[in-house]
Structure 1
Amino acid sequence: MPEQIWEQLVADKRRRQQEAIPKDWIISPPSDDVLDVRKFPDSCGLLTDREVEITNTVDVQQLLDKLATAQWSSVEVTTAFYKRAVVAHQLVNCLTEIFVERALARAAELDEHLKSTGKVVGPLHGLPISLKDQVRIKGQEAVMDTDGKYTYRVPMRKAAALILPTPQWSETYNLVFGRTVNPANRTLTSGGSSGGEGALVGMRGSPLGIGSDIGGSVRYPSSFNGLYGLRPSYGRLPYSGAVNSMEGQDSQPSSLGPISGSMSGVKALMRAVIDQRPWLRDPLCVRMKWDEDAYQLAEHGGGKKLCFAIMWDDGNVVPQPPVMRALETTKKVLEAAGHTVIDWQALKHQELYENLASIWMAGALADIDAVTAATGEPRLTSMSPAASALIDTGVHYGPGLSAYELWQVQRRRTVLREEYLAHWRATAARTGTGRPVDAIIAPVAPSPAPPHGMTKISTYTVVWSSLNYTCCAFPVTSVDPVLDAQRPPHTFLSENDKENYELYDPDTFKNAPVGLQLVGGSFEEEAVIAMTEIVDAALKASS
């Protein structure tokens, strides 16, 4: 029987986290009935007018330009964002590690370097960035592995970024830090599992973050918080040095990817990391330099007249009204910009989802039990605030698969990937460009951010992970109870479809951001970034 020490460890961690907050940065938060807290940092009195200006500068490239020209020092930019991050944490519970003095010391070093040499240290010079907790930083703890000995083996110091970690399923809740909530509506989830990143960047407590995505964990928080988030094909960015669950499960691994309030942030992070040739440090990272021709859409007609395909539903669950409106809006603005938009027919999405779930669950129970054995920490059985997370709810992990059974599942996945590729290439007969569809535009989820504990449908993201396609989430709109009234019942495609329909109430989801995802082929990161920029520009031009 393992020693039951997890509660003492949790209490100690929470105490040390609270002590790390500077005393004069502790605020009087608004009452719980204030649901939208995104603008609270602007008026809370902690940030100066200049710090409010800095943190409300959404375009990461603009921040980098001001840092590189010493219009803003790294110390003042880091101070501004750290103040706002700590305010955000007190409102939505989004941080794990807080190390203000260490960050400011590094910022001062960068300012001195720029002053004495006239040169920046790297492409992200002086920019504070946030990292999901599993990305280990030397000298700091990670909740999944608290020995503090490791560092992420992408040399972010060479890129000259400053880092502050964030937490933690497509929701964000754990027994150490509790629940992270959505800044736009605190009764809703911030997404997960990179939900701390989503909430923090959504609160402008960080201009740029790194999350991980195995089945949607960058795309959910990005979409639910009105942000941009890229899920690269696995192997494009390094993972070495980051801790993870299911380590050794190499058939369908996770990818690290950027989350930002601007597409310039997504591009800057991707290029900064790739230009450092991370394959020299991570043996699993693909040797693939930044491809400027791909970014210029050389294989997609130069981006002049693209053909997008919109997936209105996945054949299993019909999206709720705000998501349908986002799809309709995106189609309209792309056609107005001169692009072609056709419909996408989902192919075997439920089977792809079940296939990937079988791979993950092959050894999940053994993995969880091995991790929790040392402290006696119980398994979470529910994300719902209405139920105890530790009471048996009847949700159980299966016994797993034998090696041979797993091989057969993986063999079937290869066939499904071949079929999907052929399905995509066959669209060349319908696009009018002579090329197959340039990209698919699809929901990230069949709903905006749901109430806590109600995120149950992940097929819209998991399918693209199963295919290892590159995806980028982007914001479109937010829930408007007038525009997004419930639609008449349709013939339900599944029990999940019925549940999704019945979950929707426009007033419950009020103000929730609504995003979509642009899906490209495997290792098409540069092209996906460029095409998402085109879609984003069309949306902004119409607003």
Structure 2
Amino acid sequence: MSWQEIAAEKKAHQLDSVPKEWLASGLPSTNDLNIIEFPRTVLSPLDIEITESTVSSLLSQLAEGKWSAVQVTTSFYKRAIIAQQLTNCLTEIFVDRALSRAKELDEHLEKTGTVAGPLHGLPISLKDQISIKGIDSTMGYVSWIGKPAEKNSVLVDILESLGAVPFVKTNVVQTLMWVETVNNIFGRTSNPYNRSLTSGGSSGGEGALVALKGSPLGVGSDMGGSIRIPSAFCGVYGFRPSFHRVPYAGCVNSLEGEDAVVSVLGPHCNSLDGIKLFYKSVLSKDPWLKDPLVIRKRWSEEEYNLVDHGNGGQLCFAIMWDNGLVVPDPPIKRGLEMTKNALLAAGHKVIDWTPYKQAEITETLQAIWDSGSYEDFRRAAAPEPVIESMRLLPEDTPLQIRPDKPSGMTAFDLWQVHKKRRDLRQEHAQLWEDSVSKTGTGRPVDAIICPAAPYVAPPHGFCTTPKYTMTFNLLDYPAMVIPVSHVDQQLDVKQPRSEFYTQDDREGYERYDPKIHEHAPIAIQVVGRTMEEEAVIAMSEVVDRALKAANA
């Protein structure tokens, strides 16, 4: 069979395990772009109640026996399948396996009167690269079809030990290394708020699924923004932790062996309570005993209570309004202004953050990736071609997103790039320390607030720069995406500009039209210093509460 036939056969069998009554009829036409509310029109009141509950509420109802794990898993399956029909967000679907697992949990609760763990009965979706024994992890490569994982990834073992129910895997971009989602097996994932726009990537399937409430909690990965950009574009919360705090062992990946700036796993959710619970629960299982790369650092309640940040009293946030490379579009600027005003109203301090060596930071990270990605992508993809452009239509101007030849970099050359990365991290750490002179709190800046991208979700193929996220991958700063608002054509009008930082800046300005981005979510990032995950979660809760209070 040709690679095209193999891919087509895999896609054709995707829904084989799904009960036909779960497939929605009367789907919106392709001209209906905003389909975020469609699932509510076809699901039962009970399914809606379950799938629109917060993670904390779900776990409470499951622990009390009000809802069974089988019922909760079934309700989320129904909504996930509708999400798949609307946005093409799923890869692997394993109904019998997940429902069997849910039944075991129900029997455990009935026999013992206790839950199996802090995530008892909670359905969890997983990015396609996260391995589940007996199930493919194709990662968008046709040549990886029919090669099911021989064992679970460490994270899956931990989640199951916590009582979770893995139930679907979600779509990715071929290679994982771009911030949109399309591959030659499962196709392209669209944004549920406007299907003419991208869901982001590479965890775009997770972003779309969680936005449509087809999963209460999803796990994605992030090497340059792949959790945060889909979360921002799809209007959900998403968290990129520091290197080596969440176990990665057993997952398939791109650029394996590149250990200077590594991919990390983290959660997507519709509420911050789920983000915290995921992170705290995973760390409770001593993951460093199962993945030797995980740092031996338990959840710290002291750090969550902001012991190093004035115990959470008056915080000082610094806003980076732009990165000196691409000026954000009007909706993003409005989101930052809304955040600033909300924090000031809540009694916190807000100062400006001056971007520091952003071009050098992103160029250094790109050099690290490019040192071996040409060979990596082509060896993994053969015999199918490596997807070179995310553009939707052949007549669109191609966007070259892959290196077109080997880097020719020697090991010594790469060492010099690694030294540059080390030096940039050191300089930025000092810059952060020096901010103590500007805060008025006696402490350096508590957290940086900035865009997750210079734009809201763009049309398919036009996500041209991940530079607002990849900066923090090189610096290894934990970062949380928080949804703020949605595009408003009256408020987000294009403003005249005559000066531009770069050609990317000019082209982005020329492309912007609020009509194109109708209904698109607006989001911001909250960024802390390395290994400050607990504090970043807590400070994100401060920001989120302030925004909700301001918009009440």
* TM-score category, normalised to shorter length: over 0.9
Q: Indicate the percent of aligned positions where both proteins have the same amino acid.
A: 50
1:324 has 2:333 as partner: yes
> 2:52 aligns to what?
56
Report deviation, 1:319.
Answer: 0.3
Report deviation, 1:150.
Answer: 2.6
In structure 2, the gaps of 5 or more residues are 173-177
Checking the alignment, whether the CA contact within 8 Å between 2:126 and 2:219 is kept in structure 1 is: yes
1:223 has 2:232 as partner: yes
Report deviation, 1:20.
Answer: 2.7
Amino acid aligned to 1:166: T
In the alignment of these two chains, the number of paired residues is 535
CA distance in 2, matches of 1:221, 1:40: 20
Deviations 1:148-186 (A, max 9, x none): 213111221111111121111110011111100000000
1:300 has 2:304 as partner: no
Match of 1:113 among 87, 91, 108: 108
Report deviation, 1:21.
Answer: 2.6
Partner SS for 2:36: coil
> 2:320 aligns to what?
311
Change (3 A) 1:199 1:86: same
Match of 2:18 among 21, 24, 28: 21
Partner SS for 1:30: coil
Partner SS for 1:19: coil
> 1:152 aligns to what?
153
CA distance in 2, matches of 1:393, 1:467: 26
CA distance in 2, matches of 1:467, 1:233: 9
1:380 has 2:387 as partner: yes
Deviations 1:205-235 (A, max 9, x none): 0010000000000000111111111100110
- 1:118-517 equivalences under 5 Å are 118-144=113-139, 145-146=144-145, 147-148=147-148, 149-154=150-155, 155-163=158-166, 164-168=168-172, 169-373=178-382, 376-387=383-394, 396-400=403-407, 401-517=409-525
Partner SS for 2:153: coil
Partner SS for 1:532: helix
Report deviation, 1:8.
Answer: 2.2
In structure 1, the gaps of 5 or more residues are none
Report deviation, 1:490.
Answer: 4.1
Amino acid aligned to 2:468: Y
Deviations 1:246-277 (A, max 9, x none): 11111111000000000001001101111100
Amino acid aligned to 1:458: P
Amino acid aligned to 1:165: K
CA distance in 2, matches of 1:392, 1:34: 27
> Which deviates further from its counterpart, 26-35 or 290-299?
26-35
CA distance in 1, matches of 2:89, 2:248: 22
CA distance in 2, matches of 1:490, 1:335: 32
CA distance in 2, matches of 1:395, 1:106: 41
Deviations 1:302-350 (A, max 9, x none): 1110000000000111100000000000000100101000000000001
CA distance in 2, matches of 1:422, 1:458: 25
Checking the alignment, whether the CA contact within 8 Å between 1:220 and 1:445 is kept in structure 2 is: yes
CA distance in 2, matches of 1:393, 1:527: 38
CA distance in 1, matches of 2:16, 2:114: 37
Report deviation, 1:60.
Answer: 1.0
Checking the alignment, whether the CA contact within 8 Å between 1:380 and 1:389 is kept in structure 2 is: no
> Which deviates further from its counterpart, 444-453 or 414-423?
414-423
Report deviation, 1:27.
Answer: 2.0
Change (3 A) 1:377 1:390: farther
CA distance in 1, matches of 2:137, 2:182: 15
CA distance in 1, matches of 2:296, 2:197: 40
> 2:65 aligns to what?
70
Change (3 A) 1:395 1:129: closer
CA distance in 2, matches of 1:362, 1:15: 37
CA distance in 2, matches of 1:392, 1:384: 7
> Which deviates further from its counterpart, 138-147 or 255-264?
138-147
CA distance in 2, matches of 1:513, 1:393: 27
Change (3 A) 1:395 1:193: closer
CA distance in 2, matches of 1:248, 1:399: 16
Change (3 A) 1:134 1:117: same
TM-score (ref. length: structure 2):
0.95
Checking the alignment, whether the CA contact within 8 Å between 1:364 and 1:397 is kept in structure 2 is: no
Change (3 A) 1:389 1:166: farther
> 1:531 aligns to what?
539
Report deviation, 1:515.
Answer: 0.5
> 2:175 aligns to what?
none
Checking the alignment, whether the CA contact within 8 Å between 1:383 and 1:389 is kept in structure 2 is: no
